[in-house]
A and B are shown apart, each in its own frame.
Chain A
Amino acid sequence: MAQGQDKTPEQHQAQGQDMAQGQDGPTKAAKANDPVLLALTQNRLDHISQQMGHVMVRTARSPIFSQAHDFSCFIAGPDGRVTAQADGIPIHTGGGGFAVRAVLRDHGGSIADGDVFLLNDPWQAGGNHLPDWVIARPVFVGGRLVSFVCNRAHQSDIGGGAAGTYNPEATEVWQEGVRLPVLKLVEAGTVRQDLWKLLMLNTRTPDLLEGDLGAMLGSTRIGAEQVAALVEEVGVDTAMDYFDGILAHAASRMSAAIAELPDGVYRGEDRSDNDCFELRDVWVRVSLTIGGGRAKVDFTGTDPQIRGFKNSTLANTHSAVFTAFASFFDPAIPRNEGTFSSLEIVAPEGTIVNATEGAATTMNTVFVAHEIIHAVWRALNQAAPDRACAGWAKNVFGVTSGREIGADGSTGKPYVFYHGLAAAGAGAVEGRDGFNQIGHLCTLGGLTISNVETYERLYPVRFVRQDLRCDGGGAGRWRGGTGADYEVEVMTPALYSFRGEGLRYQTGFGVAGGDWGAAGEMHVQETGSAPELAPKFGLRRLDAGRLSASSPGGGGWGRPEDRPVAEVWRDWRDGLISTEAARDAYAVVFSGDPDDPSSSLDTVDAEATRALRDKRRQTSPSAQGDVGPF
C-alpha cells in the first residue's frame, strides 16, 4: 500500500501528525498482482461513476443538478476510502471519504443490505456544507459489505433563513438550513416515510427536493448493481485487493509528481475582502513543505473564522487543496483517495479553513475555496514555475430573486437567478491565454454559463450586454482572461443578495512576471434613479431596475514584453486591449485606429516598440505577480 494509506485524513488532522508518520504501511497492492485485472477494474469503476452522473443529469428536477451540474458521484471501498470519482465537480473531489467514514462510524456494525444513508452535517456527518446532501448506498455481495456507491448533490432549498440555501446574513449554521446527521433514509429496501416527510417539511421546494432525492437514489441504485456485478465476477477477496491496488497506483503517480518538485518550504496566501458584514481582509495562509514525494499543507497562520458564511469546513478544505493539487499536475493522474494520500493537511480549528461547530459555512465551496486554491497554487508556483497557474479572478456577483408580475399586475411565481453571465476571466498558464469568461475556480470552469435567450425565457429579465471587457486581462506573455461588461434589466422589484469578491481588490494574480487582472466593478440602479455602487455583501431590496458589472480579469503568465507583437496587435485590433495598454503594459506602440478595416501589422511602430521593449527587458520583472502582495 502506498504511504500513509492506513490513516484517514481525519486521523491525520486529529493527531496533528507530522509528515514522517503514517508511512510505509505494508504494501497491500502486492496482492493485486495482475496488471490487466487492475486496469480493467479501474476502467470499469470510472465508467460506472460516469454512468451514475449521466442518470443524475437526466433525472434531476432542479436546474442546480441538470444545468449547473453541482453534484458528484463516487464509489468507495468498504473502509470508506473513495476509489473512483470520474464524474463530478472539482470542489467535491476529496470530500467523499469523510461522509462514508461518518456512516461507518455511526452505523458500522448494523449496516444491512437494502439500507441507504443520507447526511449533510459538516461536523457530525462528514459534510462539506449544508446544501450538499450525500446519499451513501452500501453494496453487499455474498453477505459481505464490499462498497459504498454515493453521490453528493446541492439541493435547491433546505430551509434556513433564506430561500435557495444561501443566506448571506447567516452567522450560525442553524440559520442556513436543516442539519442532518447520518440518517438511515432507506431501511431494508423501504424508504422511511416519517423521515421523508420530515425532510419535505423542512424545504420551501418539496417538489424539487423529492425529485432530486429520487434522482440520487436512482443513480446510486444503478451504480450499486453494476459494482455488485463487477465484484461478483472477480470474487470478493480479489475485488477488495484490486480496489486497494487502484488507490496504490494513484498514490504512486501523485507521489512521483510531487517528488519532481525541489524539496523545501514554500508559502502562499490569498485574502477575502469582507467578512459578509464589514469590509476587512481575511487571509488564508499556507506553508507547503515538499520532501520525499510528500507534501504537507499547513494552514497555521490563517485568520480566525468569521461571522459570515464564508467559513470552510474540514471536508471542504481538503477538497479545495485536492483541487489545487490535481489541477496543478497532469490531469491524467487519477483522482481518488489514494491520489491524495501523499498529502498531509493541517487546518487549525477555529480558523477560516476549519470553523468550529455551529459556524455559518454555506458559501465555502466558492469562497473560501477560491482563496485556498489560490494560496496553494501560489506556493506550488514557486516550486514548479514552469507549471505555474496565474490567478483566476473572483466572481463579483450574487443572485437576484423576486416574483413574476402578471399582465394584470398580479403577483406570479417566484424566481431566482444567478448573474452567471457576468462571470470573470481565468488566469493564464504557459501555452494558453486565460479563458475570457469562465465558471468559478472551484469548478475549474466546469459550471456552464447560461444563454441570454434561455434566461429571458425563464425569468422576467432583459439583458443589455455581455461583451468582452477591454483591458481587463492581466498582461503577460500569455494574457489573463479579460472578463466581461454585463448589464441586465430586472423587470420586477427583487431581492439582491451580494456575496461576491473581487470588487475591492484585483484578484487574478500574475505569475512569472505577468500582471494582475483588473478589479471588478458593479452598480445597481432603480428605474428612474442614478446608478449607485453595489454593496459588497448583504441583502438589498430594489425596485425594478438594472444591475451592471465589469467582471474582473485573470492574471497573466510571463513578462508582457515577451508577448509576440502579432498577438498584441490581434488583441488591440479586436478591442481587448487599448492603445494605451498596448504601450504601457506590453511595450508595443501602435499608430492608427484599431477598427480601421485596413489595419495591419504595419500599424505597429516597430522602432519605438523595439526601443521600449529593450528598455523594459533591462529592468527586473514587475513587483507584481507571484511575489506580492504579502
Chain B
Amino acid sequence: MVSLKAPWRVGVDVGGTFTDMVIADADGRLHVFKVPSVPEDPARGVMNAVGKAAQDLGVDQRIFLENCAFFAHGSTVATNTLLERKGAKVGLVTTEGFRDSLEIRRGIRANPWDHRTPYPEVLVPRYLRRPVAGRLDTHGRELAPVDLDQAREIGARFRAEGVEAVAICLLNAFANPEHERLVADAVAGSWGGDWIALSSAIVPIIGEYERTSTTVVNAYVAPRVVGYLQALERELIDGGLPHRLFMLQSNGGAVSVRQIAERPVNLILSGPAAGVGSMRHFARAAGHDNLISMEIGGTSCDVMLMAEGRIAITDELSVADYDLMIPSVDIHTVGAGGGTIAGVDAAGMLFAGPRGAGARPGPACYGFGGTEPTVTDANLVLGRLKPGAYAGGSVTLDRELASEAVRSRVADPLGLSETEAAAGILRLVEQNLLQAVERISIQRGQNPARFMLVACGGAGPMHGAAVARRLGCRAVYVPRQAGAFCALGMLHSDVRQDFMDVHFQDLDTLADAPVEDRFAALERDASEMLTREGFDPADTATEREVDLRYDGQQWDLRIPIAAGAGAGDIRGAFEREYDRRFGHTVPGGRILITALRVVGKGLMPPLDEAAMPAATDGVRAIDHREAYVDDRHGAMRCAVYHGADLRPGHTLQGPLLIEEATTTIFAGPRDRVEVDPAGNYLIHLDREGDA
C-alpha cells in the first residue's frame, strides 16, 4: 500500500494502449502507474485508474476523489475522432461564391512529388456546404446584408439531412462577427440542433481556408468529445471530486470542461502538449531554464524546446493532413521510436523509418509475428536491452527473433555483420533524432549546446546521451518517471486561454491608434474567463503579445511585450528576435503589426517533488554485460544497475545501463550519472573524448 498525504493532485493521460496516472501528494511524493486503456469507452479507462489509485492508497474511491485538489486529464479522444473519421455529420455555411475553400485546401500537399496520394476525405461534402448571400469587406464593413431567409432554408435543409453539428465560416468574419452571429441564429431556429461553431469565435484569424478547416474540425469532434467529457466530469463529481475536471489543451495549458466545450478542437494535441508542465517542473528541479525534451515512444519522437523558461507556441498544425490554426505547443514529431522499422531499399541504401511496426506486430523480438527489424530489435542485438520481461512485463523480448530480423533484412543484404547492421540502424536513428532537435532549435536561432536535453518516453533515455553529445550539450536529464512525462506534466500545468485580434497597423503609428483599447478588451475577456474558472485575481496573470513582420513579408514573429510598451521598445524586441533567428535585420525597415494577442493564465502553485531518502552507502551493479557503446568504442563491458537501488547522492561512472520499470537508461564511457535529490538522473556528458 502506498502512503500519501492529502490533498493530492492527479494527472491522467489516456493513450491508445495505456492510461497513465500520476498522483502527487501534499509533500510532493509521487505515485505513478498504468492501467490498460478502454478505447471503446475511454471514461471507463479513467475510472479504472481512479479505482486502482484508491486501492493502492487503501482508501475508499470517494475519499480519494474528495481529496483531489486538482484533477487534470489529457485525452486523445478528439485526435482519434479525427484520425478514425468517427466525427459528426457536419453542415457548413459559407459566403456565396466561396463554397469550396475547404475542399480546394489552397492546393497544399506536404510532398509535391508524391502526387499519387489523394487528399484525405473532405470532412464536409459539397452538398452539405451551403452558401449564403451577404458580404463584408476586409475591414468588416458590410457590402451586402446577409440573406437570413436563405439561412433559414439552409437550417431546414440541415435538419432534413440529419446534420449533427454546424460550422459557419463567412468571408472576412475575422474582422466582424456580426454576419456569422445572424446566420447562426437563423440556422439554429430551423435546424434545431445544439452544436454550432462560428469561425469568428473559434479562431478569428485572417485566411478563410485555415479558419474554415479549423472551425469544421471543431464541429466535427464536438458532439463526440464534449459529451464524453461532460459525462466523465459528472461521474467524477458525483463520486466526490470537489471541483471541476480540467482538460489539457494543445497550448499546453489546462481549461475546464465547460470552457473546452466551446472549442474542443483545442484538445487535438491534448496529450503531448502536457509535456509543457513537465518541462517547467524539470526546469525548477534542474535549475536550468533552457531545456529541450525528446520524448521517444513506440513509433515517434516528440521534440519540444523551452528557451529562458518559455515554450514556443505555433499556430500551424496539421493532423492527418487536416490543417488547423490553433495555438499549439510547437512540437516537432519525427518517425523515430522503438518500433521504427529499418531495412534496405532496392538499391542497397540503409533506411530507418519513418514507418513503424505499431503495437502489433511491434518489434520482431516481441514475438507477435513481426519480421522487420526495429530500433528495439537493434538495441536487443547490441546488448543494450536484455532478453526477457520488458516494459513492465507487458512483453517478453526474444533475442533470437531480433537477430534473425536484423540479419535477414539488413546485415545480409548489406554484407555486414549482425552487430554492424544493428549499430548502423542505431546511428541512423540517432542522426534523425539529432536532426529533429536541430530543426526545432537551430531554425529558431537557438544553439542546442546551451540547452539541457530531457530524455523521456519509454525509449528516450536509451538514446539521450548519444544525441546530446553530438549536439554539444553538457548534460542530459532523465526523469525517473520518464515513461509518464505527459501525465506528470498535467500536475504542473497552469490554466491558460489565448485571445487574439487581427489588427493591421504600421508599428510607427502605434501611438495614433486605439491599440491600448483593443488590448484592454482582450484582457477583459481573459479576466472574465479566469473568474469563471474560479481563480482569485491574485492568482492570475495576463501577458500581451504582438505579431509583427517587416512590411512585404508573409511570416510573423510573435513578440511578448509589456503593457504600455512604446513603438521603440517593440521595434527593439522585434529586431533582437529577428536577428537571432535570421542573422540580419533591416535597419529602419517598416514594421507591420498583424495581430494583438493576450494570454490569460490561472496560476497553479508550484509543486516540488519530495526529496527521496538519500543514499546511505554505495550501490552495486546487479550485473555486467557486453553492450554496444558507439561507433568509436564498439562494444564494452557495461555495468547494469537496478533503478530501485539508486538513491540521491549516488554517482555512477559509465559505461552503464540503468534498468527502470518502464525504461532503460544508457550512459557512455566516462559519462557520469548523478542521482538528484528527487531521485531523477543527471547524466554529465564526457565531451573531451569526443574530439
Contact = CB atoms under 8 A, between A and B. Distances in A.
Interface in B48-69: none
B104 A444 contact: no
Contacts of B210: 451
B171 interface: yes
* Residue among B115, B118, B345 with most chain A CB within 10 A: B115
A208 B427 contact: no
A75 B582 CA distance: 21
B206 A451 contact: yes
B113 A35 contact: no
A134 B208 CA distance: 35
Contacts of A331: 111, 113-116
A597 B97 contact: no
Contact of A465 (B98, B157, B209): B98
Interface stretch (B364-372, B432-440, B449-457, B511-519): B432-440
Nearest to B211: A453
Contacts of B109: 435, 445-446
Interface in A447-468: 447-454, 456-457, 462-468
A406 interface: no
B138 interface: yes
Given A447-B107, A456-B137, A484-B100, A66 B431 contact: no
Interface in B112-137: 112-119, 125-127, 137
A433 B101 CA distance: 18
B418 to A, nearest CB: 13
Interface in B415-454: 415-416, 420, 423-424, 427-428, 431-432, 435, 438-439, 442-443
A253 interface: yes
Interface string A111-140: 000000000000000000000000000000
A362 B137 CA distance: 36
Contacts of A597: 157, 160-161
A66 B420 CA distance: 43
B318 interface: no
A8 interface: no
A38 B161 CA distance: 58
A256 B111 CA distance: 23
Given A47-B435, A63-B554, A457-B206, A36 B424 contact: yes
Interface in A179-217: 208, 211, 214-215
B584 A59 contact: yes
**Contact count band on B:** 35 or more
A381 interface: no
B553 interface: yes
Contacts of A58: 443, 555, 581-582
A445 B350 CA distance: 30
B350 A38 contact: yes
B427 A36 contact: yes
Given A445-B107, A445-B115, A453-B171, A466 B552 contact: no
Contact of A435 (B97, B119, B161, B344): B119
B174 interface: yes
Contacts of A443: 112
Interface stretch (A509-517, A568-576, A604-612): A568-576
A452 B208 contact: yes
A39 interface: yes
B349 A249 contact: yes
Contacts of B118: 431-433
Given A35-B414, A435-B119, A437-B104, A453 B113 contact: no
A537 B137 CA distance: 32
Interface in A1-60: 35-36, 38-40, 42-44, 47, 51, 54-55, 57-60
A249 B348 contact: yes
B1 interface: no
Interface residues of A, number: 84
Given A327-B115, A439-B107, A454 B350 contact: no
A36 B116 contact: no
A502 interface: no
A178 interface: no
Interface in A465-480: 465-468
Nearest to B205: A453
B538 interface: no
B583 A218 contact: yes
B207 A42 contact: no
Contact of B431 (A40, A447, A456): A40
Nearest to B578: A59
A456 B349 contact: no
Contacts of B506: none
A610 B582 CA distance: 64
B427 A40 contact: yes
A321 interface: no
A426 B431 contact: no
Given A36-B423, A63-B552, A465-B98, A453 B582 contact: no
B99 interface: yes
Contacts of A43: 428, 431-432, 435
Contacts of A598: 160
Contacts of B347: 249-250, 252-253, 256
Contact of B172 (A60, A221, A456, A570): A456
A90 interface: yes
Interface string A221-235: 110000000000000
B472 to A, nearest CB: 11
B586 interface: yes
Interface string B328-354: 000000000000000011111111000
A67 B207 CA distance: 14
* Residue among A89, A464, A467 with most chain B CB within 10 A: A467
Contacts of B414: 35
A253 B442 contact: no
Interface string A56-87: 01111111001100000000000000000000
A377 to B, nearest CB: 12
Given A36-B428, A59-B582, A445-B115, A435 B443 contact: no
Contact of B349 (A38, A59, A454): A38
B424 A54 contact: no
B209 A451 contact: yes
Contact of B97 (A40, A453, A465, A574): A465
A360 interface: no
A326 B581 CA distance: 34
B106 interface: yes
B172 A36 contact: no
List 3 A-B pairs, minimum CB-CB distance, nearest first.
A465-B97, A36-B424, A446-B112
Given A250-B347, A444-B115, 9 more contacts: A43-B428, A61-B550, A444-B113, A449-B107, A466-B104, A484-B100, A573-B127, A576-B126, A595-B127
17 contacts: A36-B420, A39-B424, A63-B552, A63-B553, A66-B553, A89-B112, A222-B583, A331-B114, A332-B345, A423-B107, A431-B116, A435-B107, A435-B109, A448-B108, A453-B174, A570-B125, A597-B160
Interface of B: 96-101, 103-104, 106-109, 111-119, 125-127, 137-138, 143, 157, 160-161, 171-172, 174, 206-210, 344-351, 414-416, 420, 423-424, 427-428, 431-432, 435, 438-439, 442-443, 504, 550, 552-555, 581-584, 586
Interface of A: 35-36, 38-40, 42-44, 47, 51, 54-55, 57-63, 66-67, 89-90, 208, 211, 214-215, 218, 221-222, 249-250, 252-253, 256, 326-327, 331-332, 335, 423, 426, 429, 431-433, 435-439, 443-454, 456-457, 462-468, 484, 487, 570, 573-576, 594-595, 597-599
